[in-house]
Structure 1
Amino acid sequence: MTLDQLRPYLSRFLDPFVSGFDRIGLTPNGVSVLAFVMAIFAATAFTLGGRADPVWYVVAAVLVFLNGWLDVIDGALAREQGVASAGGDLLDHVLDRYADIVVIFGIAAGVENYFLGFLAVTGVVMTSYLGTQAQAVGLERVYGGLVGRADRLAIIGVVGVLAYPISGTYGGLTLVGWLLVFLAVVGHVTALQRFAHSWSALE
């Protein structure tokens, strides 16, 4: 089970935040945009963590967690305000994909390993694509597989926190460099798992 599948059980924890955003007049689309802004800041912090001061990795971790939290809240806010729509869902998914790309680019730029960044970002994008493509062929959206988006953000955040005190290289890569390897491997494995699941359901 991936963390994405736990979203329906988070409602009682979201209520105070949803109510707060509703009171200040923020729209679900506004929350989606705010989440994307957090991703941009996180990418910048990851780059600074690799090139300037490792303390920026902790800042990046906090911003990644904020991105993930806001990504959960926007849908709940849409339901609370009664404005859930296909357009809002589209915007949310588009910004999520751009957020994934931006964050991984920031990580790759920080460790100056763009090849690993390419492998990681293609794995992440294909994971998300296969999850939603199932809907396009008449199935339910697929959240299963080795690692979903929520899991991925949680892992990136945890590694960001650990990268501050844990310096040095291991097998030629820093901890953040190994994060890119992890994202590349599990991204493509998860994408293939989702493809296999959808293919089997269509037979």
Structure 2
Amino acid sequence: MPEEILNWMLGRLSSTGRIISALWPMLLLAGYFVIGLLVYVIRWKVVGPYRDEEIESRGSTVLAGMWFRQWFAWMIRPILRFVSWTGIPANAITTLSLLLAIGAGVSVAAGRFSLGGWLYIFAGICDFLDGRIARTTGTATPTGSALDSILDRYSDSAILVGLAWYYRDSWVLFATLLALVGSLLVPYVRAKGESLGIPVTIGVMQRVERIAYLGITVALSPILEALLVPNDPHPPHRLAMAGIVMLAFSTQLTALQRFFYLLGELGGKPFRMRASLGRNGIGRNAVASVIATGIDFASVVLMVQHAGLVPWLATALGCLLGGAVNFVINRIWTFGSDAQIGPQIWRYAFVSLTSMALNAGGVAVLLLLPALDYRLSWWLVRIAVFFAWNYPLHRDYVFIPAEPESPVSV
């Protein structure tokens, strides 16, 4: 038995051992929560749904609805009562959460994904408890709140830093860094909004979801690897990779959602992007760009294949034609601008030239990464320049409405 424990601690496990080590914590938690779910459904039918004010104040997301959040809060109540009964201070639970998260980061960096994933989940449960323990026992203080918020950022970073180390020679490193930045930006934008008196709780991925989805995919990934590549000493952990990519996308999306929402609430007109096909909407601007690009490409093909022009000259003429089409569609249909056309042409030319420079420079920079395909680089840069440069300047610099004439005094 001592030898088996030592082998488990050192990661010397067979394929079956890796599967068992990943499954047994899940079976324990599943048993607890499944039985609790049955009891909760009966309670919900007889008494009504459980309501947690803190959960309601944070709102729900697509990935975790309010019913699920309330059920989870109700399931944690027995643990909350027990910890409160022991008299353990809330700050101690906060620091325990950090220690578990650091252990999770070290574990995944060493390739022990099952151990790291479950440690991260238990760290999340501790984080869920600490604030409630403080309020239940009447020991909540501003110091404890600040400690909790700051250590949460360290906890979020710990496991992602560990994953970044494990995937340091893989493209997954880039996704992990995106997830790390997004995980830090999401709470930062919310905190900034609260400091300005604006609650910012929207988004598809809040902290509960981040812990649950990343922790579960990391914890269970050794099962898949033991079945697919049982003898690989450094398996790719495909399930964990999927969790990292999902986290990278969803946290960045949530951060941007909160960012634009906050700036819009503060009166930042340039950041209110209408996704519809209505007037001034980004949808119309995108349609105009697609039509212009299609005409540009088709004209180049026609001029090269049927008019006999050299490709570089046909490309230049195609750009001019596509630019003219884009200008006309945006002026008439997208923005409905009635200002003088002369200044708009010069401004449009400036935006187009700078956009060309940004696109070319962006692709050149991304291609410094040898593993990145040039086509993917083209799309990434094109989308970024469109959202960050082309559309805002088209709306607020090029196709601005005409200034109203001053009334003539008599």
State the TM-score, normalized to the length of structure 1: 0.84
User: What residue in structure 2 maps to residue 31 of structure 1?
Assistant: 93
Determine the C-alpha separation between the residues in 2 that align with 1:8 and 1:139.
24
User: What residue in structure 2 maps to residue 71 of structure 1?
Assistant: 127
Residue 179 (structure 1) aligned to one of 229, 239, 243: 243
Determine the C-alpha separation between the residues in 2 that align with 1:179 and 1:89.
29
Residue 210 (structure 2) aligned to one of 152, 167, 170: 152
Determine the C-alpha separation between the residues in 1 that align with 2:102 and 2:92.
15
Alignment of 1:30-49 (within 5 A): 30-49=92-111
* CA deviation map 1:28-60 (0-9, x unaligned): 1111001111101111121122xxxxxx32222
Q: Which runs of 4+ in 1 moved over 6 A?
A: none
> Closer, same or farther in 2 for the Cα pair 1:44/1:99, shift >3 Å?
same
User: What residue in structure 2 maps to residue 53 of structure 1?
Assistant: none
Are 1:197 and 2:261 matched, yes or no?
yes
Determine the C-alpha separation between the residues in 2 that align with 1:31 and 1:19.
14
- Quick check: 2:105–2:116 contact (8 Å CA) kept in 1? yes
Determine the C-alpha separation between the residues in 1 that align with 2:104 and 2:150.
18
Amino acid at match of 2:116: A
- 3-state SS, counterpart of residue 165 of structure 1: helix
- Quick check: 1:4–1:151 contact (8 Å CA) kept in 2? no
- Quick check: 1:7–1:72 contact (8 Å CA) kept in 2? no
> Closer, same or farther in 2 for the Cα pair 1:11/1:182, shift >3 Å?
closer
State the TM-score, normalized to the length of structure 2: 0.44
* 1:186 to partner: Cα distance: 1.6
* 1:133 to partner: Cα distance: 1.3
Matched length: 193
Amino acid at match of 2:80: V
Identity %, equivalent residues: 27
Determine the C-alpha separation between the residues in 1 that align with 2:244 and 2:146.
27
User: What residue in structure 2 maps to residue 137 of structure 1?
Assistant: 196
* 1:117 to partner: Cα distance: 3.0
Residue 20 (structure 1) aligned to one of 76, 82, 94: 82
User: What residue in structure 1 maps to residue 29 of structure 2?
Assistant: none
* CA deviation map 1:124-147 (0-9, x unaligned): 11112112211011122x332011
- 3-state SS, counterpart of residue 146 of structure 1: coil
Question: 5+ residue gaps in structure 1?
Answer: 50-55
Are 1:188 and 2:252 matched, yes or no?
yes
Determine the C-alpha separation between the residues in 1 that align with 2:150 and 2:119.
19
User: What residue in structure 1 maps to residue 115 of structure 2?
Assistant: 59
| More displaced stretch, 3-12 vs 60-69 | 3-12
User: What residue in structure 2 maps to residue 95 of structure 1?
Assistant: 151
- Quick check: 1:4–1:149 contact (8 Å CA) kept in 2? no
* 1:182 to partner: Cα distance: 2.6
* 1:7 to partner: Cα distance: 5.7
- Quick check: 1:43–1:104 contact (8 Å CA) kept in 2? yes
| More displaced stretch, 5-14 vs 142-151 | 5-14
- Quick check: 2:120–2:211 contact (8 Å CA) kept in 1? yes
User: What residue in structure 2 maps to residue 127 of structure 1?
Assistant: 186
> Closer, same or farther in 2 for the Cα pair 1:129/1:88, shift >3 Å?
same
- Quick check: 1:40–1:103 contact (8 Å CA) kept in 2? yes
- Quick check: 1:123–1:187 contact (8 Å CA) kept in 2? yes
Amino acid at match of 2:114: V
Q: Aligned-residue CA RMSD in angstroms?
A: 2.3
Question: 5+ residue gaps in structure 2?
Answer: 1-59, 230-235, 268-410
- Quick check: 1:28–1:74 contact (8 Å CA) kept in 2? yes
Amino acid at match of 2:150: V
* CA deviation map 1:184-203 (0-9, x unaligned): 22211110101122223333
- Quick check: 2:98–2:152 contact (8 Å CA) kept in 1? yes
Name the structure, 1 or 2, with higher relative contact order (CA <8 Å, separation 6+).
1
